[in-house]
Amino acid sequence: MKQQPSEAQKRATLLRLEKFSRFTDSSIGIPFTRFKIGAEAIIGLLPGVGDMAGLVLSAYVLVEAQRVGVSRAVKLRMLRNMGIDFLGGLLPVVGDAFDAIYKANTRNTLLLKRYLEEQLAVEPPPPPFPWKLLMGLSLLFALITGGLTLIL
């Protein structure tokens, strides 16, 4: 039987993937702009093999998501993002710009982060029993009952 990763392992995986996504999608700032590109966009400039190498890099996020037990629906969304990034990168001329803008690894890491946050969310403790309210109402009821008994 396969053992589920601990909460600490899931958090470590997420931290590792955030660093990986930053490196592949937004590690290089373009001077005089706020826009950043990553190593994947640079690798994608190589005709043919660059886009395939980018797809292989993107598969790392999917493999890590599988290790932490992400749902099938999330993995399918990740595959969709990878496919869009790969096919968009194949387009002549605009494909390289598309690679720089789409940032599939960042999208997939965000999907994983949302999923893990739902899984790791700590449920708030139930509210304490309202003993003070119960005692106050009991005292009020006793006073009203005692007062009515004296009057009648």
Instruction: Please state the rounded mean pLDDT for residues 35-55.
Output: 88
**What is each CA distance from 68 to 2, 60, 64, 71, 134, in whole angstroms?**
11, 13, 7, 10, 46
pLDDT at residue 95 tops 60? yes
Domain chopping of the chain, boundaries:
7-124
Neighbours of 66 (CB within 10 A): 11
Closest CA to 88 of 61, 129, 16, 80: 80
Buried-state track 37-53, b at ≥16 Cβ within 10 A, e below 16? bbbbbbbbeeeeebbee
Query: pLDDT digit string (tens) for 127-141?
Result: 888 888 888 888 888
Q: At 48, list the tokens.
A: 């043919």
Q: At 20, is the pLDDT very low, low, confident or very high (cuts 50, 70, 90)? A: very high
The yes-or-no verdict on residue 37 having pLDDT over 60 is yes
CB 39 within 8 A of CB 24: yes
In whole angstroms, give the CA distance from residue 82 to residue 74: 12
pLDDT of residue 81: 95
pTM of full prediction above 0.75: no
Measured between alpha carbons, how far is residue 90 from residues 25, 60, 101, 117, 137 in Å?
Answer: 17, 20, 14, 34, 73
> Which pLDDT tens digit goes with each residue over 105-116?
999 999 999 998
